[in-house]
Amino acid sequence: MEKMIAIRKPSDMHLHLRQGAMLKTTVRDAAAWFAQAVVMPNTLPPINTPERLAAYRDEIFSLAPGFKPVMSFKLYPGMSASAVKAMAKAGALLGKLYPAGATTNSEDGVTSWHQIKEALGAMSDLGLVLSIHCEKPDAFVLDREYKYHREFAAICKAYPDLRMVFEHISDRRSIEFVASLPDRVAGTITAHHLLLTLDDVIGANMNPHTFCKPVVKGPKDRDALQQAAFSGSSKFFFGSDSAPHLKTKKESGAAAGGIYSSPYAVPLMAELFEQQGQLKKLENFISVFGPKFYGLKPAKEKLVLIKKESTIPAVTDGIVPLCAGKTVSWSIKA
Ligand code: NCD
Ligand code: ZN
| Each residue's pLDDT tens digit, 221-267 | 999 999 999 999 999 999 999 999 999 999 999 999 999 999 999 99
Q: Is residue 1 part of a domain?
A: no
Q: Is residue 203 part of a domain?
A: yes
pLDDT computed for residue 180 by the predictor: 98
Ligand 1 pocket residue status of 133, Cβ below 6 Å: yes
Q: Is residue 306 part of a domain?
A: no
The pLDDT confidence band at residue 293, using thresholds 50, 70 and 90, is very high
The one catalytic residue in 12, 29, 171, 241 is 241
**Is the per-residue pLDDT at 2 higher than 90?**
no
CATH number at residue 201: 3.20.20.140
Q: Is residue 325 part of a domain?
A: no
Atom of ligand 1 nearest to the CA of 105: 4
Atom of ligand 1 nearest to the CA of 14: 11
Atom of ligand 1 nearest to the CA of 213: 7
Active-site annotation holds for 241: yes
161 is in which domain, residue-wise? 12-263
SS (H, E, C) the chain: CCCEEEEECCEEEEECCCCHHHHHHHHHHHHHHCCEEEECCCCCCCCCCHHHHHHHHHHHHHHCCCCEEEEEEECCCCCCHHHHHHHHHCCCCEEEECECCCCCCCCCCECCHHHHHHHHHHHHHHCCEEEECCCCCCCCHHHCCHHHHHHHHHHHHHCCCCEEEECCCCCHHHHHHHHHCCCCEEEEECHHHHHCCCHHHHHCCCCHHHCCCCCCCCHHHHHHHHHHHHCCCCCEEECCCECCCCHHHHCCCCCCCCEECCCCHHHHHHHHHHHCCCHHHHHHHHHHHHHHHCCCCCCCCEEEEECCCEECCCCECCECECCCCCEECCEECC
**Domain count within the chain:** 1
Ligand 1 pocket residue status of 174, Cβ below 6 Å: no
- Å from CA of 322 to ligand 1 middle: 14
Q: Is residue 170 part of a domain?
A: yes
- Å from CA of 308 to ligand 2 middle: 30
Q: Is residue 282 part of a domain?
A: no
Q: Is residue 285 part of a domain?
A: no
Q: Is residue 317 part of a domain?
A: no
pLDDT computed for residue 40 by the predictor: 98
* pTM strictly above 0.85: yes
Ligand index nearest the alpha carbon of residue 72: 2
Ligand 1 pocket residue status of 16, Cβ below 6 Å: yes
